[in-house]
Structure 1
Amino acid sequence: MNDNYELQQAVMHGLFDQQKYSGNDMLAPKLLVNSKEETIWEHLLDEFGVCQSFSIAVAFITKDMLTPFKAVMSELAARNVTGYLLTSDYLGFNDPAMFAELLKIPNLTVKITSVAGFHTKGYLFDNGAEKTMIVGSANLTRSAMLANYEWNLRLRSTAQGALFKQLEQQYTAQWHKAFLLTDAWVKDYALHYVTPQLTSKTASPVTKKITPNGMQRQALANLAKLRQNNARRALLISATGTGKTYLGAFDVQAFAPKRFLFVVHREQILEAARDSFRTVIGGSARDFGILSGKRHQTTAKYLFATIQTISKPEVMEQFDPQEFDYLLIDEAHRSGAQSYQRLLNYFQPQFTLGMTATPERTDDFDVFELYDHNIAYEIRLQQALAENMLCPFHYVGVTDYEVNGELLDETANLSRLVSDERVDYILRQLDYYGDTTQVPHGLIFCSRQDEAKELAVLLTQRNHPSLALTNEQSVSQRDAAVKKLEEGQVEYLVTVNIFNEGIDIPCVNQVVLLRNTQSSIVFIQQLGRGLRKYPGKEYVTVIDFIGNYKNNYLIPLALHDDHSKSKDTAKRELAFKPILGLSTISFSRIAKQRIFAALDAVKLDSLHELKQEFAALKQRLGRAPLLCDYLEQNSLDPRVFLENPRLNNYGSFLAKMQEQVCLTKYQNQILTFLCKELAQGKRPHELLLLRLLLQQETVSEQELIAEFDKYGCYHNDQLLNSLDVILGLDFFAIKSGKKIKADEYGGRPLVVHDGFNYQLSPDFKAAVSQGQDFGCLMDDVLSCGLRLNQEYDNKRQFTLYQRYTRKDVCRLLNWSKDLSAPMYGYWVGENECPIFITYRKDEKVVESRNYQNTLANNSAIRWYTRSPRTLESAEVKRLLAVDDNQARQIKLLVFAKRSDAEGKSYTYLGPADILPGSVAEETMPTAKAKPKRVVGMDLKFKQPLPYKQLKYLTGQEDNE
């Protein structure tokens, strides 16, 4: 099928008749809007990724969109792709700084039109024989690209298309009338520039009452519930800049203490904290006092004290131990210090709240134990960005400097780290991605102290005043350096980890990472140094120099707060330039390759990794975590245990962690069955039945169906029969190597069904009565499965775009046996035929299965039977058979995965119909003399694939 024919079909589908013509979503006319599923910027990235040249005409451009735009232009420059940008000075919307930044892009020619009322928004892409235009309402602004409700029409055309020719002519005409953007013009424009007034009247300032946001309301409710349950201490985990001081004030207001004590470690925070509390609580200024080295306002109702002063025995003893009924400790991770321990041992408040952004400690002190393992709330980065609590950021991952093709790593000599060539390279990246019209207020994180000191000197010599800060400087010296950064006396503070936490510099507008990412926690801490909002700061530029480090895989995990330990998830997050609210993430091609290489090399689900996660959560909870705890704490996806081939069940993992778990062999076998077959939650029916049987001796069919209805589950006779063969283990009575699979699960039924009632089998019932460990672990597995099941649509056998293995499909189709082993690409059952497609075949794949499925179309896929097959083959006849109403007798269900690297699971793309007229015998070329016969056909999905599903399955990525 030639490209022009496919384009014709797509155009006719989009503009004439979607039922009559096949619509290739990548070619068809499409309305582009911003939504949770996709953004206009992502579609532009698709076009930039394949174009040979481009032309843009937009009235307005904002500086806050230029960082990700520059990242794209840098990648195009590496491919020798150039482009043209036509814009204007209409209404003075485009400020001089934005024009100055455009001049930095070497492969972009910019012209300014003098046309009055220029209000165009169009993006034209030339890919040789194919052209693409995106026209509509979206300017090149961050809001338009990522958030605003915009309408933009994407049209594709051949080079001869009349509409594209007309658009090109219009662009060319305006281009010739426009004048070239130059330094001289920008300077003159800046000299006469007047900031536009966006409103005709200036409203009088209104003092807005501060009220809790959604996350704060939830945290306050959790704190109130903890106190109702007689909790005396609790911990609030909240990143810098997320309003935890106001949250503390709201809770104190709700508690209404007779006296309140707020303790911090730095005097500079006292006044700001006091003022925030008074803003929320109100009342006389005399009620709010400060206790520090200089001020002793000890009689105030609300007292704000430094730990250095309040912890002195002679100061503490001025107060009765029960003087304060509410104690709040800021930066609570410091509570292990002797000064804090004296304070906490002396005072006896009714309630103590600790607030911190970093509860995990590198020392041996257990912050969670100190606060009775009561975690009131945890505000995460993605949540805070979504709530607009933090300043958006533009992250750019660039490749670090190379010398003769050799990459920097942890063992690099200092001479290489601070060579003139590397420093010049760093400055070129800072200049390109930074805003040279504003004074940088930057933090640079290095790997070593000697590197930090030398780099600060070299940057200063190159007219970028910088200071090195290490743990050798005193607190007063650090404070003095921070003040110089805030006042613009220096541009950069070059440091080695000391600013990971406990420092507040709201003016920071650049974060530069020149070190190996050792942990996700440290990465987020360093990123977070720039995320506090500040007047005039619209966004933060984060530049990460990615070298040859084995820990590079942590970068996408950290940016997405991904604890799943799934390589597939990490690669999906990395692959398509993900976006977080109004923040963007961009990687250069080489940087991305390095991260993919690190992901391929690491075992995210190794026992070492799982042991670390287990230990961290155990410390947080004060006990060994169960599967549901990982879900509740957002710590780890429990499927990493359930699907791990090195673990039989979670009880066996606990035993490896030296936890006391007492299980019989049969109990272990039952747990293995539950973990391996049911706990992923892909259907809830078995879990619900087992849960009922653990609560009551007998469950009638009517009671079970009522439970299904209550839970919103589909049910029919086939489903009830399936429960019998699953819980009776008959489904698994097949050979797996030399063993019968069911024997691994104990070989005996778990449930007996007499046709009317269900009961636990005598063996299973006896196992339940033997010891508490088994009952506890079994309840946890069932609860975990039902929690995971919330991701699925239980009114149907399969949920669109969820992942299933071949064995899952056999079970969920209610088949009596597991036929996954001989199934391969498909299996024609009595009523259904599940089809499993690996879209991009491995080079080593067996030739007889190396069929080139095509899915450039979001509505249909070309699919082939196994070989040898002809139209006369019995199997093919069954596939093509229709009933008296011309409906297919066999229901086709399509499952697909991008490549074998994704493992055993396939994404469910939905039911499909065979397009009339598409069925044909074809030959499949082989290395042998005689080609093999197959039958090919177009399968049309009942529901066209969403943009991201289509994009992921078909996209060519830099690492491949």
Structure 2
Amino acid sequence: MRELGFRRVLFLVHRSQLARQTKKAYQNVFSKSVSMGLVGTGNAEYDKDYVFATVQTLNKDQNLKKYSPDSFDCIILDEAHHSSANTYQKIMHYFTPKLWLGMTATPDKRDDEIEGRNIYEIFHHQIAYEIRLQQAMEEDMLCAFHYFGISDISTLDEKQLAKAKIGDRDFNNLTSDERVQHIVEQANFYGYSGERVKGLIFCSRIDESEELSNKFNQVINPETGKRYKTLALNGTATEEERQHAFERLAMNEGDSEEEPLDYIFSVEILNEGVDIVEVNQVIMLRPTQSPIVFIQQLGRGLRKAEGKEFVVILDFIGNYKNNFMIPIALSGDRTYNADNIRKYVISGNNIIPGGSTVHFDEIAKQKIFASIDKIKGIRSIIKESYCSLKNRLGRVPYLFDFYENGEIDPLVIIKEYKTYQNFLEYMEKELYVGKVAEKEKIILEYLSKTILSGVRPYELEILRREIRTGNLNIGEFCKDFEEKYQFSIDEKSFYNAIDVLQGRFVGKDDEYKKYSDMDLIVLADGDNSLKKSACLSYEFRKRLRHSEFSKQVDDIISVGLKRYSDKYATVDGTPFVLYEKYSRRDVSFLMNCGKDLSSTMYGMKRIGEDVFIFVTYHKEKVSDEKTYVDGKPDYADAFEDNMIFRWDTQIGRGIESSYVKDVCNAKRKHLFVKKSDAETNFYYMGQFDIMEKKAAKKKDNKGKERDIVKIRTKMHHPVREDLLRYLQSDIYTEKE
């Protein structure tokens, strides 16, 4: 405001408490260089330079008309996601300032599709500044926090909690003395920063918040030897009651004749517009409904205050389907890529920069992993992400927009809809005018499932070069490729990439029939292989004149190349990146197999001088009647430590078998591991050497002893500690 030279400023809020807090903060900056006043709840200081007003007061005609439309140089709207409301709109239509400035942590709302409700549109899609939790922590704008994910002893799920009325048995489960004692013990154990606890407790239901508050008030606080002082604050509380409660929570012993509050229990009214900087402990006793609400509630404790070094966040994690949203919220990653979410749970403290920490107890971790394995409602999540991005950009977004803006992973969209074309038709319906022909849709489907992931750049670069120039000299291309990527593309890989682009990378006959006549690339003869050229077919060039089809092909190429650069690029061109995840199809693709060999790639696969071992670390539990489940023996595959891995060969394969010789004689031996069958892709653990092999016996499913070989290996690189812990941790099974 000062740098822009604005003499008169209106700061509009929806609660009088916020007006007072904001005025105080501005006075700390401007001192007495400008006059400041309040309008609303008994205050009428209309003539000040900087006015802090409530929308409820100012939108009344007799108050609004005290100003001319151009009275203010700048008008700031706090909690600007409310600006589509009639009260705000009346004020916005009346005034004509030089600058409207909206501030909000939640610009994306569920009614954004309704005309006039899109906050981005109200502000002409102009985003002056955006900052997320991770960046704010990096820049030391917020108080450090220590997050602890703790297993809850309540067994109720989201459906039970959402009922208008719940039975006595369920309510007693939610508010039992045992649960209260569990919460008190954990709150006391993990502590707080400051002279005394000043906490907020978020509940799932109003009746729960009231009963828990009553029970807390009967419990002795181990820190003070006195009973806790708490109250429940919900929607029926008046502005004065809320303000009084906040003051009691913030005060210290002896500040007033009244006793300070230790905790305020609530459901939603503390999610926004509450600025109690003294809060040093936040307790969450409810399922995470969305990452936005999670951050809103966590954020109640992130304001810096004198004598407060950090805030403690205690999240009691129950048997909730949405537990996967917790690591999404903490990491700020909105891709909803299951592998990424698992990594964040595994990484723990690596999620948040600076002095903040993240810890999950083992049972809480397993509850989150179980939720990740069964993510529900992904189409609703995709739709929400699309609407948010469309509103922000002011146009129809494409896959690269999702990737660049950190929205849902394009691969997640393709997994659900096969092509982005299908998704656009589903979302926009009759409004979507960019229809493509059925043959073009088949091409988009093949490119999306084959090169969009970006596991290697060959096909992407060839296709982009062809589209831009119309013709490609193989020798020149290989030279340019090496200059760009600092490793060469060999002749076999180049021709394999051409085969891929001709629709031949398939695993089934029906796929071959569907894709092999796409007719994208034509090879022309030359004196030698490097003088040969490749060009787009006449049919494909003709199809690219269709602007929507061309745009989507370019979109796939852009996403694939960016993903390669971000995830898979290596300095020496080696096919696999340590600890990234790959499917069996990816291995076929990267090893130039010419077709998808996934169906033959179980346990072990020898490809040329390379052998690949695929291990599921936790096998499905067997029934009493069977020695193993559905052809999957319970092999003793396990890491002894971060270097030594024990592996059992396939049952019936003895020490002299060609199977074992294929493993032992391979020049390069690669290990791929996934935690359980719920995961589709494998972590690449790196190469290994065989230290010893020993003949052994194992019973088959008929009880007959068969040959196997127990092999002890040594990894070329120590396995990353957090990944090793994840693989070795038990699988959590939800109770039926």
Q: Following TM superposition, by how much is the alpha carbon of 1:310 offset from its aligned partner in structure 2, in angstroms? A: 5.4
Deviation digits for residues 134-171 of structure 1 (CA, Å, limit 9, x no counterpart)? xxxxxxxxxxxxxxxxxxxxxxxxxxxxxxxxxxxxxx
Q: Which residue of 2 aligns with 1:487?
A: 251
Q: Following TM superposition, by how much is the alpha carbon of 1:297 offset from its aligned partner in structure 2, in angstroms? A: 6.9
* Gap change, CA 1:570 and 1:367, over 3 Å in 2: same
Q: Distance in 1 between matches of 2:598 and 2:248?
A: 67
Q: Distance in 2 between matches of 1:612 and 1:404?
A: 27
Among candidates 528, 543, 561, match of residue 767 of structure 1: 543
AA at the equivalent of 1:718: K
SS at structure 1 position matched to 2:607 = coil
1:776 counterpart = 2:551: yes
1:388 counterpart = 2:160: no
* Gap change, CA 1:683 and 1:597, over 3 Å in 2: closer
Q: Following TM superposition, by how much is the alpha carbon of 1:781 offset from its aligned partner in structure 2, in angstroms? A: 1.6
Q: Distance in 1 between matches of 2:579 and 2:193?
A: 45
Q: Which residue of 2 aligns with 1:221?
A: none
Q: Distance in 2 between matches of 1:944 and 1:591?
A: 27
Query: Does the CA-based 8 Å contact 1:402-1:408 persist in structure 2?
Result: no
AA at the equivalent of 1:391: C
Query: Does the CA-based 8 Å contact 1:557-1:563 persist in structure 2?
Result: yes
More deviation, 614-623/676-685: 614-623
More deviation, 501-510/549-558: 549-558
Q: Distance in 1 between matches of 2:368 and 2:210?
A: 29
Q: Following TM superposition, by how much is the alpha carbon of 1:834 offset from its aligned partner in structure 2, in angstroms? A: 2.6
* Gap change, CA 1:484 and 1:675, over 3 Å in 2: same
SS at structure 1 position matched to 2:544 = helix
Among candidates 102, 121, 144, match of residue 354 of structure 1: 102
1:447 counterpart = 2:195: no
Q: Which residue of 2 aligns with 1:892?
A: 669
Q: Which residue of 1 aligns with 2:257?
A: none
Among candidates 733, 749, 757, match of residue 533 of structure 2: 757
Q: Which residue of 2 aligns with 1:526?
A: 297
Q: Following TM superposition, by how much is the alpha carbon of 1:746 offset from its aligned partner in structure 2, in angstroms? A: 5.6
1:328 counterpart = 2:328: no
Q: Distance in 1 between matches of 2:156 and 2:659?
A: 59
Deviation digits for residues 548-590 of structure 1 (CA, Å, limit 9, x no counterpart)? 5444443343333343334454445446755634334444555
Q: Which residue of 2 aligns with 1:496?
A: 267
Q: Following TM superposition, by how much is the alpha carbon of 1:711 offset from its aligned partner in structure 2, in angstroms? A: 3.6
Q: Following TM superposition, by how much is the alpha carbon of 1:932 offset from its aligned partner in structure 2, in angstroms? A: 3.1
Q: Distance in 1 between matches of 2:575 and 2:346?
A: 30
Deviation digits for residues 86-115 of structure 1 (CA, Å, limit 9, x no counterpart)? xxxxxxxxxxxxxxxxxxxxxxxxxxxxxx
Among candidates 396, 400, 408, match of residue 624 of structure 1: 396
Among candidates 272, 276, 279, match of residue 505 of structure 1: 276
Query: Does the CA-based 8 Å contact 1:410-1:549 persist in structure 2?
Result: no
AA at the equivalent of 1:637: D
**Structure 1 residues 702-721: aligned runs within 5 Å:** 702-712=475-485, 714=487, 715-721=489-495
1:740 counterpart = 2:510: yes
SS at structure 2 position matched to 1:816 = coil
SS at structure 2 position matched to 1:723 = helix
- Aligned Cα root-mean-square deviation (Å): 3.5
Q: Distance in 2 between matches of 1:279 and 1:681?
A: 52
Q: Which residue of 2 aligns with 1:803?
A: 581
Q: Distance in 2 between matches of 1:459 and 1:826?
A: 58
Query: Does the CA-based 8 Å contact 1:259-1:324 persist in structure 2?
Result: yes
Q: Following TM superposition, by how much is the alpha carbon of 1:662 offset from its aligned partner in structure 2, in angstroms? A: 0.5
1:263 counterpart = 2:12: yes
Q: Following TM superposition, by how much is the alpha carbon of 1:680 offset from its aligned partner in structure 2, in angstroms? A: 0.7
AA at the equivalent of 1:750: L
Q: Distance in 1 between matches of 2:578 and 2:374?
A: 31
Q: Following TM superposition, by how much is the alpha carbon of 1:947 offset from its aligned partner in structure 2, in angstroms? A: 1.9
Q: Which residue of 1 aligns with 2:678?
A: 901
SS at structure 2 position matched to 1:834 = strand
SS at structure 2 position matched to 1:477 = helix
Q: Which residue of 1 aligns with 2:127?
A: 375
AA at the equivalent of 1:385: M
AA at the equivalent of 2:393: L
* Gap change, CA 1:506 and 1:277, over 3 Å in 2: closer
**Structure 1 residues 163-174: aligned runs within 5 Å:** none
* Gap change, CA 1:746 and 1:616, over 3 Å in 2: farther
SS at structure 2 position matched to 1:396 = strand
AA at the equivalent of 1:487: M
Q: Which residue of 2 aligns with 1:635?
A: 407
Among candidates 543, 561, 571, match of residue 786 of structure 1: 561
Among candidates 456, 470, 494, match of residue 683 of structure 1: 456
AA at the equivalent of 1:459: F
Deviation digits for residues 629-657 of structure 1 (CA, Å, limit 9, x no counterpart)? 22233221222123x2x422121122222
Q: Distance in 2 between matches of 1:267 and 1:325?
A: 22
Q: Which residue of 2 aligns with 1:474?
A: 238
More deviation, 714-723/812-821: 812-821
AA at the equivalent of 1:719: S
Deviation digits for residues 466-525 of structure 1 (CA, Å, limit 9, x no counterpart)? 233222122233112211222252222222211110111111122222333333322221
Q: Which residue of 1 aligns with 2:32?
A: 285
Q: Distance in 1 between matches of 2:143 and 2:156?
A: 39
Q: Following TM superposition, by how much is the alpha carbon of 1:409 offset from its aligned partner in structure 2, in angstroms? A: 4.4
Q: Following TM superposition, by how much is the alpha carbon of 1:331 offset from its aligned partner in structure 2, in angstroms? A: 1.9
Q: Distance in 2 between matches of 1:706 and 1:575?
A: 41
* Gap change, CA 1:835 and 1:424, over 3 Å in 2: closer
Query: Does the CA-based 8 Å contact 1:867-1:932 persist in structure 2?
Result: yes
* Gap change, CA 1:718 and 1:326, over 3 Å in 2: farther
TM-score using structure 2 length: 0.83
Among candidates 452, 464, 471, match of residue 698 of structure 1: 471
Q: Following TM superposition, by how much is the alpha carbon of 1:867 offset from its aligned partner in structure 2, in angstroms? A: 5.2
Q: Following TM superposition, by how much is the alpha carbon of 1:452 offset from its aligned partner in structure 2, in angstroms? A: 3.3
Q: Distance in 1 between matches of 2:515 and 2:559?
A: 19
Deviation digits for residues 403-449 of structure 1 (CA, Å, limit 9, x no counterpart)? 999x9844544662455565455444444444599432222223333
**Structure 1 residues 7-18: aligned runs within 5 Å:** none
Query: Does the CA-based 8 Å contact 2:335-2:406 persist in structure 1?
Result: no
**Structure 1 residues 129-528: aligned runs within 5 Å:** 253=3, 255-257=4-6, 260-269=9-18, 273=22, 285-287=32-34, 289-290=36-37, 292-293=39-40, 294=43, 296=45, 298=47, 300=49, 306-307=54-55, 311=59, 321-322=69-70, 324-361=72-109, 365-401=117-153, 409-411=161-163, 412-413=166-167, 416=172, 417-418=174-175, 422-434=179-191, 438-462=195-219, 463-488=227-252, 489-528=260-299
AA at the equivalent of 2:403: L
AA at the equivalent of 2:147: Y
Give percent identity, aligned residues only: 36
More deviation, 807-816/570-579: 570-579
1:940 counterpart = 2:714: yes
Q: Which residue of 2 aligns with 1:198?
A: none
1:819 counterpart = 2:614: no
Q: Distance in 2 between matches of 1:545 and 1:880?
A: 49
Query: Does the CA-based 8 Å contact 1:851-1:924 persist in structure 2?
Result: no
**Structure 1 residues 840-859: aligned runs within 5 Å:** 840-843=618-621, 844-845=628-629, 850-859=634-643
SS at structure 2 position matched to 1:493 = strand
**Structure 1 residues 649-664: aligned runs within 5 Å:** 649-659=419-429, 660=432, 661-664=434-437
* Gap change, CA 1:872 and 1:474, over 3 Å in 2: closer
Which structure 2 residue ranges, 5 or more long, are not aligned?
220-226, 253-259, 622-627
Aligned residues: 687
Which structure 1 residue ranges, 5 or more long, are not aligned?
1-248, 882-887
Deviation digits for residues 264-319 of structure 1 (CA, Å, limit 9, x no counterpart)? 44455557656766777x7x83345446354647474x665554565555665566
Q: Distance in 1 between matches of 2:700 and 2:408?
A: 46
Deviation digits for residues 39-75 of structure 1 (CA, Å, limit 9, x no counterpart)? xxxxxxxxxxxxxxxxxxxxxxxxxxxxxxxxxxxxx
Q: Which residue of 1 aligns with 2:501?
A: 727
Q: Which residue of 1 aligns with 2:645?
A: 861
TM-score using structure 1 length: 0.65
Q: Distance in 2 between matches of 1:399 and 1:922?
A: 42
Q: Distance in 2 between matches of 1:436 and 1:506?
A: 13
AA at the equivalent of 1:450: D
SS at structure 2 position matched to 1:498 = coil
